[in-house]
Amino acid sequence: MDSGIFFESVFNNAKLNAILIMDEKGIIIKANQAFSSAFGYTAEELKGQYFDLFFVDSDRKAHVPEKEIIKVNTTGSADDDNYLVHKDGTPVWVTGEAILAITDNGRYIVKIIHNIHAQKLLEGYLLKSNEILEHLFESVREQALLIINSQMQVLRANKAFLKMFDLSENFTSGSKMSDLGHPFWRSQEIKSSVRKMIIENIPLNEVYTLSLADSQRQFHITSKGLLNDDVTERQILFAIKEIKVQALHSDGL
């Protein structure tokens, strides 16, 4: 196999991998079409430019480009996780690796870049969402709140929830929802509804009735799907409000 032809095919046909070829000092020799499509620069515009033009001002002042060149030439590779500036001036979060390639014609640096901006935005959103959720649990007193995962395990409950269902504040996180110690959460109706909601990914907005020996209790439950910090597992937030109903009397009054 001709390695030169093989690399040229990878370079030209890549759609998701933006690739730059530079000399050992970081001067751009070539950029593939994937790079141009992702970041707006043409190969002609980039040829002969020092690659620090992609870095934000703070990274240039901290000599991040120079440090990357030194590391590549010293160790053979360098990874990065930082902003790359689009031609229109927009900073785009990327990750990638610069690799030293030594050929008969000299030393070159091949820089492979992945756009992870959407992922970083999602991480930022989740962080803010978790901060809001943390504040919500600490501040809400009248609204009962419960979080479970897709295995119907209880992850968290606020004090209003524990009070509504006469539960100890020392309940075990990670236990099954049906093990909460209250007949409402052991009922087949609520378990079936929650299971269906998880499978079909349709939020709850229902009223449920719990019939006791001398009374009835009704609960209006709404739900909202969440994602945890590493975006690997769905979590569900329940908001429960009790609807006041009249007690049942044996004399019919």
* pLDDT tens digits along 40-76: 999 999 999 999 999 999 999 999 999 999 999 999 9
Q: What are phi and psi of 42, to 5 degrees?
A: -85, 160
- d(CA 32, CA 138) in angstroms, rounded, equals 52
Tokens for 115, please give them.
């756009």
pLDDT of 251: 47
Between CA 34 and CA 30, with CA 104 as vertex, the angle to 5 degrees is: 20
Structure tokens at 120: 């970083």
Q: Read off φ and ψ for residue 46, nearest 5 degrees.
A: -85, -25
Least confident range of 24-38, 94-108, 117-131: 117-131
Which pTM does this prediction carry?
0.49
Average pLDDT over residues 224-232: 60
Amino acid at 71: K
Average pLDDT over residues 205-214: 86
pLDDT digits (tens, 9 = 90+) for 178-205: 888 888 988 899 999 998 888 887 888 8
